[in-house]
Structure 1
Amino acid sequence: MKKNVFFFLLLVSYMAVAQDTTVKKLQAESGRVIQKDPKDTLPKIWRIGGLYNLNLAQGSLRNWAAGGDEFSLTITSILSLFAFYQKDRHSWDNTLDFNFGFLRTTSLGSRKNDDRFDIVSKYGYAISSKWNLSGLFNFRTQFFKGYTYSTNVKTFASAFLSPANILISPGFDYRPNSDLSIFISPVTARWVIVKNDSISAKGFYGVDPGEHSKFELGAFLTANYLKDINKVLTYKGRLDIFSNYRHNPQNVDLFFSNIFSVKLSNVLSASWNLDFIYDDDTRLFGDNGTSPALQVKSLVGVGLLVKFGQGRER
């Protein structure tokens, strides 16, 4: 009996020593730094990231002899996301932009001053060092109800999918450098959608009164430019031009977006957004509210800027 107890204690001691040795070996292995194989030169085929910009301004007056609104609040925000794929001759660029601005004053009440949801997806196959054979998809609309304002008149003018533009375009993409991309298509299909019944009934966006969509066929060009002017100033621009072969092709539609950003610190920036739109079918202006016109939007702000992801947006 004593001999069996002795062998049992000896076995337990051996197992404890072996377990302690194994644990120490595992701890050493887990703390070891894994060195990258110098032969591993596989490039990253995806770059994903974006930025978020939030500007806020608030003012209030009380017993102010010079006059003015008792309360004012302005909020503008920009969310810009990107996902870029690159492998061999194949590329796939995806961007999403969501802009929203809100204004509230005691005299004007609440209203939006910016609202854009914009998705662009572009596939390219390189046929030379600067030219790609490409296909482009674009979807642009807004989320919230919008109104136009004139003297004592408030007109319901937009809502989700009213209007919305869907564009499908095969063509050629010219990239002379990393800052500039120019896409050209001689044949592009575009659908204008007006889902809201009351907006559709007025025929504001070229859709026949009472109808909810319109098909257009034409030529399309889009140019995108992103440049770091210096260490603190960045410019981002996008120009879209569309000519409808089926109706007044000489009256081209224009969408021109410009963003100037000045870096003030790691998380603060000043920005100027300047947009131009001309659509001959958007007849909301003039004395009688039935004429087209060049639309201009300018927003200046200082606020929070957060960048995230891999690489810079192109």
Structure 2
Amino acid sequence: MNKRGLYLLGWIAALLCLSGQAGFSQVVVDSKTADFLRNFDQQKIKPAHIDTSYWSVSRELRFETALHSVSKNWYQSDNRSSLRLNMYSLINANYIREYTRWNNTLDLRLGFLWEDAGKLADDARNLSVNQNYLRLETVYGVKLVRRFDFEANAKLVTQIMPSYASNTAKESNKTFMAPGVLDIGLGASYNYSTKRLPTLYISFYPVNNNTTFVLNQRLADAGTSGVDPAVKDDQGNIIQHGKQYKMVWGVRTQFKIKYFILENQKFWASNDFSIFVDYAENPGAGQIDNKFILSYEITKNISLSYNMTLRYYDSDRVTRTDPTTGQSAQYYAGLEMMNDMTIGLKFNF
């Protein structure tokens, strides 16, 4: 074999050696990457874990027998005193972290009155609903300084079932979302609590939108809860239907307190007061709600309570008939009151 052939064989051998070294070369990685690559095929990809430790959920269900009375100008139903059965449901879902909190509430209350049909007029209903309340509320707060938060609040209050002026009335005077009152406010709040005083809460919303919905056209045409009524001609025919909402801007504040009168926490009192004042459309007009509760816990699940609800809405009206002329007219309802003395069975879960 000549020299040229030997040189060619040498180059071929050198190329084979270099290609073999390149084929079996390794990439140097750190230990964490090596562990990940080693276990990658043995592990399944799992969804991200959601930390729920900042959430707390409470549920309360109550059944009560109540001695019930309302003032003659109460906005929902007839003003008869009665013995009735109440059902309450309260659900809270709260999120609390270092500098933020988010509270959500569903509050549902129904009260039923059953009467012996044989003692009523032929066209009277023997089953009436005279406690009728639904509240959905969400509050988001960001801590400013100790006990003071910047706060955004949205609250919707309405009723669930139709209510009637009397048990012989054919048409309802209120129904679901007729009215429904939606408040959306921005402001600040103060929170304080101790063992004997678990709740002391004051909120102030200088910017608050208050919208009253009347989504039943018949009630909207009648101007229920202050919405613009229908426009009619001289014969009473509707030319233009009434508006189904009324929107105003104002300031809203709320004050809530709960205090254990006895150290064993079986006897307590609470009060929830809120007021909205219109400062744009009709300055000085507004809405006031106040609920006072005095309760004694007989056993873990049985309690005796007194509840007083006060209400003043400038949009509420009552119809009164002049006995001399027989003509009816609408007047401001003024201060309205509802009282309940109850004994109830409560379940928390």
TM range (shorter): 0.7 to 0.9
Opposite residue 249 of structure 1, the aligned amino acid is P
**One-letter code of the match for 1:298?**
N
1:235–1:285 distance in 2 versus 1, CA, 3 Å: farther
Matched, 1:116 2:136: no
CA contact (8 A) 1:285 1:293 kept: no
1:103 equivalenced with 2:144 (yes/no): no
Determine the structure 2 residue equivalent to 1:213: 245
CA distance in 1, matches of 2:186, 2:164: 35
Q: Alignment identity in percent?
A: 23
Distance (whole Å) between structure 1 residues aligned to residue 206 and residue 100 of structure 2: 22
Q: Residues 214 and 224 of structure 2 are in contact (CA less than 8 Å); yes or no, is this contact kept in structure 1?
A: no
Q: Deviations over 1:220-272 (max 9, x none)?
A: 01122222222321333221100112333223310112222211112211122
What is aligned with 2:95? Answer: 85
For residue 212 of structure 1, report the CA deviation from its aligned partner: 0.4
Q: 1:147 is paired with a residue of what secondary structure?
A: coil
- 2:190 paired residue among 166, 169, 174: 174
Alignment match, 1:28? none
Which residue does 1:157 correspond to in 2?
A: 173
2:169 is aligned with 1:137? no
State the one-letter code of the partner of 1:75.
Answer: L
**For residues 155 and 229 of structure 1, do their structure 2 counterparts lie closer, same or farther at Cα, with a shift above 3 Å needed?**
farther
Aligned to 1:65: none
8 Å CA contact retained: 1:276, 1:295: yes
Shift of the alpha carbon at 1:128?
Answer: 0.6
Over residues 191-246 of structure 1, what are the superposed CA-to-partner deviations in whole Å (9 max), with x where a residue is unaligned?
A: 10001111111112010011101111000011222222223213332211001123
What residue is the counterpart of 1:48 in the other structure? 57
Instruction: Please list the CA deviations of residues 147-195 of structure 1 after superposition, one character each: whole Å capped at 9, or x if unmatched.
Output: 1249x87773110110001111010011133411111011101110001
Structure 2 distance, partners of 1:52, 1:286, is: 39
Distance in 2 between residues matched to 1:122 and 1:153, nearest whole Å: 39
The structural deviation recorded for 1:55 is 1.3
Displacement of 1:44 in angstroms is 4.2
CA contact (8 A) 1:49 1:81 kept: yes
Q: CA RMSD in A?
A: 2.4
Which of residues 265, 289, 302 in structure 2 aligns to 1:268? 302
Contact 1:285 1:291 (C-alpha < 8 Å) held by counterparts: no
> What's the counterpart of residue 205 of structure 2?
185
Give 3-state SS (helix, strand or coil) of 1:158's partner.
coil
Do the aligned partners of 1:205 and 1:281 also contact (CA within 8 Å) in 2?
yes
Partner residue of 1:300?
A: 341
Contact kept in structure 2, 1:149 and 1:155, CA below 8 Å: no
Tell me how far apart the structure 2 counterparts of residues 219 and 163 of structure 1 sit (CA, whole Å): 21
CA contact (8 A) 1:52 1:307 kept: yes
Asked if structure 1 preserves the Cα contact closer than 8 Å seen for 2:66 and 2:86, the reply is no
What is the alpha-carbon distance in structure 1 between the residues aligned to residue 320 and residue 280 of structure 2? Answer: 25
Residue 196 of structure 1 corresponds to 216
Structure 1 or 2, whichever has the larger Rg, is 2
> CA, structure 1 residues 254+57, in 2 after alignment: closer, same or farther (shift >3 Å)?
closer
TM-score normalised according to structure 2 size? 0.67
What is the CA-CA distance between 1:82 and the residue it aligns to?
Answer: 1.0
TM-score between the two structures when normalised by the length of structure 1: 0.74
Secondary structure, counterpart of 1:148 in structure 2: coil
Residue 57 of structure 1, CA deviation: 6.8
Are 1:225 and 2:257 counterparts? yes
Name the SS for the 1:281 alignment partner.
coil
Unpaired segments ≥5 residues, structure 1: 1-41, 59-71, 309-314
The 1-side partners of 2:110 and 2:171 are apart by 20
Question: Match of 1:157, SS?
Answer: coil
Maintained 8 Å contact 1:77/1:100:
yes
**Structure 1 residue 280: Cα displacement:** 0.5
Instruction: Confirm or deny: 8 A CA contact 1:163 1:205 kept in the other structure.
Output: yes
CA contact (8 A) 1:204 1:284 kept: no
| Alpha-carbon shift at residue 73 of structure 1 (Å) | 6.2
Relative to 1, partners in 2 of residues 1:279 and 1:57: Cα closer, same or farther, differing over 3 Å?
Answer: closer
The residue that corresponds to 1:241 in the other structure is 275
Matches within 5 A, 1:35-74: 44-56=53-65, 74=84
Q: Which amino acid aligns with 2:336?
A: Q
AA aligned opposite 1:87: R
Q: In 2, distance between residues paired with 1:245 and 1:57?
A: 39
Match of 2:4 in 1: none
| Larger displacement relative to structure 2 (131-140 or 175-184) | 175-184
Letter in 2 for 1:118: R
Post-superposition Cα deviations, 1:14-41, rounded to whole Å, max 9, x if no partner, equal: xxxxxxxxxxxxxxxxxxxxxxxxxxxx
SS at match of 2:221: helix
Indicate conservation of the 8 Å contact 1:200/1:207, yes or no: yes
Distance 1:57 1:222, change over 3 A: closer
Q: 228-237 vs 129-138, which deviates more?
A: 228-237
How many residues align structurally?
253
